[in-house]
Amino acid sequence: MSWDVYLIKSETNQESSPDEIEKPLPIAAKSEVHAWLRQNYPEADFTDPNWPVVFTDNYSVEIMLEEEEVQNDIMLAIRGNEAPYDLIEAMCQAFACRAVDTGTGGFLEGPETASFESWKDFRDEVQAEYEAPREGWFRKLMASLGRWFSGK
């Protein structure tokens, strides 16, 4: 479960709503995104070059890139207890694009317009409602088979 932010670029980057963007522009080359990440987040994991991940003590961000070299959009899948507004803002400045909060459908103009806290509350509710099984299914199966084979 992640809070998702979508990076998009237009000719003016002045639209009041993402719906007003008729034809998004390419954001950057994949190699430029990689270079920027390596410079600004040297701890980033590039095991999958289409899905680099930035880890900090407070959040992780999976940066979903397209297979092609030219990146027409970039999706950020964010997990953790704090939103990486610094990373989002820095990427938007570096690549002259804007962030769309998929939770609200509007542009992310800072913490005051974000749905991160609502997403975090929802995530916490879901986690609280889920009670992990005390015994895994495999262990239960093996115990049942053991009883069956022993005739008990």
CA torsion angle 116 121 126 128 (round to 10): 140
Structurally, the chain folds into a number of domains equal to 1
| Residues whose CB is less than 8 angstroms from the CB of residue 146 and which lie 6 or more positions away in sequence, other chains included | none
Q: Containing domain of residue 22, as a range?
A: 3-150
Q: Residue 25 contacts by C-beta under 8 Å, 6 or more apart in sequence?
A: 9, 10, 11
**Tokens 């199966």 sit on residue:** 141
What tens digit of pLDDT does each residue of 41-97 get? 999 999 999 999 999 999 999 999 999 999 999 999 999 998 899 999 999 999 999
For the ranges 6-10, 86-90, 133-137, the lowest mean pLDDT is seen at: 133-137
Q: Is the pLDDT higher at 149 or at 19?
A: 19
pLDDT class of 138 with cuts at 50, 70, 90: low
pLDDT for res 134: 58
Tell me which H or E stretch contains 5: strand 3-8
Radius of gyration of the chain (CA): 21
CATH number at residue 88: 3.30.310
pLDDT band at residue 135 using 50, 70 and 90 as cut-offs: low
